[in-house]
Amino acid sequence: MSPILVGPLAVAGLSTVLAFLIAILDKFLNNYGQLKISINGGKKELVVKGGSPLLGTLAAEGIFVPSACGGRGTCGACKCKVLTDVGPHLPTEMPYMSPKDIEGNVRLACQVKVRKDLEIELPEELFSIKKLKTRVERIKDLTYDIKEVLLSLEGQTIEFEAGQYVQLVVPPYGDIPESAQRAYSMSSRPSDSAHVELLVRLVPGGIATTWVHKFLKEGDSVEIVGPFGEFRIHDTTASMICVAGGSGMAPFKSILNHMKETGAFPEKEIWYFFGARTTKDMFYLDELSALAKAWPRFHFVAALSEPKPEENWKGDVGLITDVLDRYLQGKIDKKKGLEGYLCGSPGMINACINVMKKNGMTEDKIYFDKFA
């Protein structure tokens, strides 16, 4: 053998032996075996295989903690209380933790590995969350960038409150090598437990929205996880001031149809402000106008921020916050009290909260579903 080859071959041989040793050691040293997870003071006990992140371990046992990034540690949604000492918070967790979270042992379930028996606390409602296999029954274009997607649960059912959301499981596709999950509010009525309807607006560069808009077809199988969320109608007699833009329409479609169908909360007056740029961005206009005619306590205010002369728009004009301000100042009866219900981008929500506060509404009576 040439002496030139001896060095590289020796290094290659040594590397192979070391890799083999590491693999063997990893198998034995990182084999945590069967471990116990005790949830909510022993109300639920799980026996699981150790070594994996808590988020995935719980999901394998049918307990779905909300996560918008699929466990990559970039959304901060999968917070839960870990009472067992599992070491200090990781740098990947810190951006999502308030001092109160840190003091209360709140952790990101996707960043904590199950390496010993754990005691954790989870909201009870997570136990009723299911993973459902669905089939796409219909995809309808509402505008050039918003699609209405109707999913059939094919014999399964879902129980939810109007205003809640599900996580859509996006499989690997095109250049996307990994599955991801994204949250979408349900626009369907709770009484139709055999279907889930979602409104999805195309976000440039968005993984889930690109999949829905460019890859998903009628007849395809889709997994969803849910229901999640605290956004729901509050049982009071106060009038509802609802504001949305774009696909923020979804929870309100569900809420309005549910209230009309069941006659729920009969004392509540409902004002619904919906903003878009031009008529090309507006949808469900006829349906909501017809609903307002047939349902005296429902008032629908559609506004365009940049109507073109040729559109001959007869409705309100301006940014939705300006329109809301005008109505709150002179057209809405405040005698029964007002509650705010908002769904949209953080910018829209913050701007609406400012307008509502300026008009005497209190922040504790403003409920919202922020996209972010």
Partner 1 sequence: MKLRPIEKDAFGRMGPGTITAQGFLGNDSRAPEEIIAEDEMEFARLGLDFEAVADELENLKIEGEKGLGEPLTVGKLLIQTGDARGMLPCPYGDGLHHKNAVSVRLADQPAESCVEGEDMLVFSDLSIHLLRVHHFCQGRGSPFRLEPALMARLVKER
C-beta atoms surrounding 32 within 10 Å: 16
Q: Could you say whether residue 272 binds partner 1 (CB under 8 A)?
A: no
- By beta-carbon proximity to partner 1, the closer residue of 257 and 321 is 321
Site string for partner 1, 3-42 (x = CB under 8 A): ----------------------------------------
Among 22, 95, 116, 138, binds partner 1 (CB under 8 A): 95
- By beta-carbon proximity to partner 1, the closer residue of 176 and 285 is 176
- Cα–Cα–Cα angle for 16, 19, 23, nearest 5°? 140
Stretch that binds partner 1, among 41-49, 50-58, 198-206, 264-272 (CB under 8 A): 198-206
In whole angstroms, how close is the CB of 173 to partner 1 at the nearest point? Answer: 10
Among 163, 227, 275, 307, binds partner 1 (CB under 8 A): 275
Residue of 290, 252, 246, 68 whose CA lies nearest to 144: 246
- By beta-carbon proximity to partner 1, the closer residue of 192 and 223 is 223
161 SS3 class: coil
Strand 239-245: give its sheet, edge to edge: 316-317, 298-304, 270-276, 239-245, 338-344, 366-370
In whole angstroms, how close is the CB of 339 to partner 1 at the nearest point? Answer: 21
Q: Could you say whether residue 228 binds partner 1 (CB under 8 A)?
A: no
Among 35, 68, 136, 332, binds partner 1 (CB under 8 A): 68
Tokens at residue 266, please? 């009969």
In whole angstroms, how close is the CB of 265 to partner 1 at the nearest point? Answer: 28
Q: Give the span between the Cα atoms of 280 and 306, in whole angstroms.
A: 11
Please tell me the count of residues contacting partner 1 according to CB under 8 A: 47
Site for partner 1 in 337-356 (CB under 8 A): 344-348, 351
163 and 232 Cβ atoms separated by less than 8 Å? yes
Q: Give the span between the Cα atoms of 324 and 359, in whole angstroms.
A: 10
Q: Could you say whether residue 74 binds partner 1 (CB under 8 A)?
A: yes
Stretch that binds partner 1, among 44-52, 196-204, 331-339, 354-362 (CB under 8 A): 196-204
Tokens at residue 338, please? 């007002």
In whole angstroms, how close is the CB of 131 to partner 1 at the nearest point? Answer: 20
Among 55, 63, 65, 77, binds partner 1 (CB under 8 A): 77
Q: Could you say whether residue 96 binds partner 1 (CB under 8 A)?
A: yes
Task: Write 332-338 long-range contacts (CB < 8 A, 24+).
Answer: 332/239, 332/241, 332/271, 333/239, 333/269, 334/239, 334/360, 336/237, 336/238, 336/239, 336/267, 336/269, 337/236, 337/237, 337/238, 337/239, 337/365, 338/238, 338/239, 338/241, 338/365
- By beta-carbon proximity to partner 1, the closer residue of 238 and 242 is 242
Among 232, 305, 313, 318, binds partner 1 (CB under 8 A): 305
- Cα–Cα–Cα angle for 200, 202, 205, nearest 5°? 130
Q: Give the span between the Cα atoms of 222 and 25, in whole angstroms.
A: 40
- By beta-carbon proximity to partner 1, the closer residue of 53 and 248 is 248
In whole angstroms, how close is the CB of 81 to partner 1 at the nearest point? Answer: 20
117 and 37 Cβ atoms separated by less than 8 Å? yes
Question: Which helix or strand (DSSP H or E) is residue 16 part of?
Answer: helix 3-29
First to last CA, the chain: 64
Query: Which residues bind to partner 1, rule: CB under 8 A?
Result: 68-70, 72, 74-77, 95-96, 144-145, 175-178, 180, 182-183, 201, 203-207, 210, 245-246, 248, 275-277, 281, 305-306, 319-321, 344-348, 351, 370-372
